């Protein structure tokens, strides 16, 4: 499969739908499961559990180091990028492609990445 704007748009929407509630992604079964917000010990559940693809190690979370603040920032970035990738009504195919390339470059650290890093520094300084 080749990366396309449509595939990227759908993936960003998938991450966006996971949102603020914990989920488990089963790579072994190819399914997504909602998880409880709190653990049995009263702790807030991990935001994302990505199951190890080896069935013998399926209890290992590949997203173990992800924090809630990092997860929510990633979800927000996916929302922004998906919005930018969504074709504007009435725009030409060339304009749509140019907008998609610019959004993908910002998302993956290309042109516009300096602006993004500056925004993150402002966000971190304001917390």
Beta strands in the chain, from DSSP E residues, in sequence order: 23-26, 31-34, 48-50
48-73, pLDDT tens digit by residue? 999 998 888 888 999 999 999 999 99
Residue 35 has pLDDT above 90, yes or no: yes
Two tokens, residue 109: 């650290």
CA-only gyration radius of the chain, Å: 17
Q: How many Å from the N-terminal Cα to the C-terminal Cα in the chain?
A: 40
Instruction: Phi first, then psi: give them for residue 121, nearest 5 degrees.
Output: -65, -40
Q: What is the mean pLDDT of residues 70-84?
A: 90
Residue 127 has pLDDT above 60, yes or no: no
Query: Does the pTM of the predicted model rise above 0.85?
Result: no
């Amino acid at each position: 499969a080749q990366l396309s704007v449509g595939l990227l748009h759908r993936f960003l929407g998938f991450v966006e739908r996971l949102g603020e509630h914990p989920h488990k992604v089963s790579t072994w079964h190819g399914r997504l499961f909602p998880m409880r917000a709190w653990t049995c010990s009263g702790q807030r559940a991990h935001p994302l559990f990505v199951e190890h693809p080896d069935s013998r190690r399926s209890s290992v979370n590949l997203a173990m180091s992800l924090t809630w603040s990092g997860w929510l920032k990633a979800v927000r970035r996916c929302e922004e990028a998906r919005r930018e990738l969504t074709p504007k009504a009435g725009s030409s195919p060339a304009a749509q492609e140019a907008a998609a390339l610019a959004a993908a470059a910002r998302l993956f650290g290309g042109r516009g990445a300096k602006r993004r890093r500056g925004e993150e520094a402002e966000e971190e300084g304001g917390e």
